[in-house]
Amino acid sequence: MRSAARLTAALTLLAVTALWTAGRDEAPGGLAAWGRLAALWSADLLILQVVLMARIPWVERAYGQDTLARWHRWTGFASFHLLLAHVVLAFLAYAETQPWPRLATEPGMLLALAALAALILVVVTSVRRTRRRMRYESWHLLHLYAYLGVGLALPHEFLLGTDFRTPAARAFWWSLYAIAAGSVLVFRLGLPVWRTLRHRLTVDHVDPEAPGLVSVYLSGRRLDRLPVRAGQFFVWRFLDGRGALRGNPFSLSGPPRGDSLRITVKVVGDGSERVAALRRGTRVLIEGPYGRMTAATYAGGSVTMLACGVGVTPLLALLWDLPYGHGRATLVYRTRHPHEVAFGRELAWLAEHRGVRLVPLVGPRAEAGSWLPAEYADYDDAEALRSLSPDIAGHDVYVCGPDAWAASVFRAARAVGVRPARLHRERFGW
For 13-57, the pLDDT digits (tens) are: 898 888 888 766 554 457 778 888 888 888 888 888 888 888 888
Q: What string of DSSP letters covers 3-22?
A: HHHHHHHHHHHHHHHHHHHH
- Residue 402: the pLDDT is 87
Q: Residues 248, 236: contact at Cβ < 8 Å?
A: yes
314: preceding bond cis by omega (within 30 degrees)? no
- The letter for the amino acid at 364 is P
What's the rounded Cα separation, in Å, for the pair 244 and 261? Answer: 20
What's the rounded Cα separation, in Å, for the pair 230 and 287? Answer: 16
Most confident segment among 43-47, 84-88, 393-397: 393-397
- The letter for the amino acid at 417 is G
Write out the H or E segment, with its range, that includes residue 197. Answer: helix 191-199
Specify the fold of 2-187.
Four Helix Bundle (Hemerythrin (Met), subunit A) (1.20.120)
Specify the pTM. 0.80
Task: Report how far apart, in Å, the C-alpha atoms of 319 and of each of 193, 258, 290 are.
Answer: 31, 18, 19
254 falls in which pLDDT band (50, 70, 90)?
Answer: very high
Q: What string of DSSP letters covers 63-131?
A: HHHHHHHHHHHHHHHHHHHHHHHHHHHHHHHHTTTS-HHHHTTSTTHHHHHHHHHHHHHHHHHHSHHHH
291 vs 130, residue with greater confidence:
291
- Residue 107: the pLDDT is 56
> Over the stretch 301-349, which tens digit does the pLDDT of each residue have?
999 999 998 899 999 999 999 999 999 999 999 998 888 888 999 999 9
Percent of the chain surpassing pLDDT 70? 81
| Among 374, 386, 389, 377, CA closest to 415 | 386
Q: Is the pLDDT of residue 429 over 50?
A: no
Q: Is the pLDDT of residue 271 over 50?
A: yes
Sheet holding 213-219, edge to edge: 202-210, 213-219, 260-266
Angle at which helices 136-143 and 145-160 cross, to 10°: 10
> Over the stretch 286-304, which tens digit does the pLDDT of each residue have?
998 988 899 999 999 999 9
Classified as helix, coil or strand, 233 is strand
All CATH 3.40.50.80 domain ranges in the chain, comma separated: 295-425
All CATH 1.20.120 domain ranges in the chain, comma separated: 2-187
Report the top-level CATH class of 295-425: alpha beta
All CATH 2.40.30.10 domain ranges in the chain, comma separated: 200-290
200-290: CATH superfamily: Translation factors (2.40.30.10)
**What is the residue-averaged pLDDT of the chain?**
83
- The letter for the amino acid at 305 is M
26 vs 424, residue with greater confidence:
424
- Residue 272: the pLDDT is 66
Residue 78: how many other CB atoms lie within 10 Å: 16
- Residue 193: the pLDDT is 94
Most confident segment among 111-120, 143-152, 381-390: 381-390
71 falls in which pLDDT band (50, 70, 90)?
Answer: confident
Q: Is the pLDDT of residue 382 over 70?
A: yes
Rg (CA), the chain: 25
- Residue 199: the pLDDT is 95
Q: Residues 425, 400: contact at Cβ < 8 Å?
A: yes
